[in-house]
Amino acid sequence: MDELPPVMLEQGRLRATLEGARVYGREHPDEFGGLNWINDEPVRVVFWATDHLDDHRRALAAGRVEHPERVVVRQCRYTERQVDAWLDEVHRLLVDRPRTPRVTSWGQHLGEDGIGIQVTIWPWSDEGAEWVRDKLAPIPIEVAAMPPAKFLGPYSAGQP
């Protein structure tokens, strides 16, 4: 059996820390912006918050997580609740519309300001991206092109 990469093993060891940070964050929905990983050595959990960063650092270090030394608190622009509401609105406005460009996916996206929203379209055009931005305004989004499909060879159900 193949061994897991070291970064995945370390994320597994930090799972309780991630979940403790999530529970704590959801107790502060007006400031909690979500979580993600820093996979460089040492692997760390990023706790995003819109305000009161020092208060959150102190609380997390005071026993709310198993490994507080492996939690980094960073400032973000949007709360998790805002991003989730925007994702619902993106779905309502863009799903199953018979227009080109086709919206192929949307979801959370990690940017410089924390977790936001990315919408992927195909085929790419500047006009199509602008149409999506206009349609979703004032929701702050990043529009990206759908990457090309990768051909991995013929399907071989169980064939060597």
pLDDT at site 159: 46
Q: Which CATH architecture describes the domain 80-145? A: 2-Layer Sandwich (3.30)
pLDDT truncated to tens, each residue of the chain (160 aa)? 578 888 999 999 999 999 999 999 999 999 999 999 999 989 999 999 999 999 999 999 999 999 999 999 999 999 999 999 999 999 888 876 667 778 888 999 998 888 999 999 888 899 999 999 998 999 999 999 987 766 555 554 444 4
What's this model's pTM, rounded to 2 decimal places?
A: 0.82
Q: What is the pLDDT of residue 156?
A: 46
Given strand 114-122, what is the order of strands in its sheet?
102-111, 114-122, 141-145
Domain ranges of the chain: 6-75, 80-145
- Do residues 142 and 116 make contact, with C-beta atoms less than 8 angstroms apart? yes
As given in the structure block, the two tokens for residue 82 are 């805002």
The reported pLDDT for the residue numbered 95 is 73
Q: How far apart are CA 123 and CA 129, in angstroms?
A: 10
